Amino acid sequence: MSHTWDPDRYLAYADERGRPFVDLLARVPAETPRTVVDLGCGPGVLTALLADRWPGADVTGVDSSPEMIDAAREVEGVRWEVADLRDWARPDPLALRGPVDVLVSNATLQWLPEHLELLPALVDRLAPGGWLAFQVPGNFDEPSHTIRTDIADRAPYAEHVRDVAVPASHAPEVYLRVLVDLGCEVDVWETTYFHVLTGPDPVFGWVSGTGARPTLQALPDDLRPLFEEEFRTLLREAYPPDAAGRVVMPFRRIFAVAHKPARDAVRAAD
């Protein structure tokens, strides 16, 4: 069963989800790019920052979710495209699509199990001297994810969620090695954010809009409430609120910025 995305639920923590994008963008020193693409643009709120940063660029937001692109169309100054990232990255034998000067992907690649194998294609889509910048979560060993996995592996849920999409990423040094081997100058780092959340079951509210959403959607209506209640209970134990009702959720993220050599640099190396 394919899952769908809910822009409103995703934007419930817009500030927290947006900060890594801003931190990633700050490490991309491109000055006057002509073409900028945001792969996995979601509801487009962050893509608008690309248009603000480079007002002279042709900015395109790409997402596989029609619901997300419908929400994004309210943002002006950006072209929007419904497309799977894997299809977008494939070679264009007719050269209908030009090279990209800045290619950004924020919290998207973790949904593609083969995303390491996609990195060469993404670098190929860059113009000489172009930039590839991406961020993926690196918190999959945290209770917010491991609890979902443990419950989903048990009956009566396992038979319904066995093949659902589950996000995953690699160690920072893995991304570094792959991008260096592709001939790029690379900057890779990681940051752990400590989000202070409030309200009823805030960690469940966070993960139900992202990492756990495919699992929850795959469950039949008679089982979903049971799964959710167990999930909420264990999350409350793993992330207990303080006396003021605040919950601290650590969230590790992995960043990579790769600079493709300009033609002159490649010729000099030859």
In sequence order, which residues have a C-beta less than 8 Å from that of residue 95 and are 6 or more positions away? Answer: none
H or E, element range at 133: strand 126-137
Say what the pTM is: 0.90
Give the whole-angstrom CA distance, residue 54 versus residue 237. Answer: 45
Q: Which fold has domain 7-264?
A: Rossmann fold (3.40.50)
- All structural domains of the chain with their residue ranges: 7-264
Question: Using the 8-state DSSP alphabet, how is residue 200 labeled?
Answer: S
Q: Do residues 253 and 190 touch, judged by C-beta distance below 8 A?
A: yes
Give the whole-angstrom CA distance, residue 68 versus residue 17. Answer: 15
* Each residue's pLDDT expressed in tens, for the chain with a length of 270 residues: 455 545 555 455 567 888 999 999 999 999 999 999 999 999 899 999 999 999 999 999 999 999 989 999 988 899 999 999 999 998 775 455 789 999 999 999 999 999 999 999 999 999 999 999 999 999 999 999 999 999 999 999 999 999 898 999 999 999 999 999 999 999 999 999 999 999 999 999 999 888 888 999 999 999 999 999 999 999 999 999 999 999 999 999 999 999 999 975 544 455
Q: Do residues 125 and 152 touch, judged by C-beta distance below 8 A?
A: no
- Closest by CA position to 75, among listed 50, 100, 108: 50
The amino acid that residue 148 corresponds to is R
Q: Where do the H-state alpha helices sit in the chain? A: 7-10, 14-25, 47-53, 66-72, 85-89, 115-124, 143-152, 158-161, 172-181, 202-207, 213-218, 224-238, 263-269
Residue 182 phi, psi (nearest 5): -85, 5
H or E, element range at 252: strand 247-259
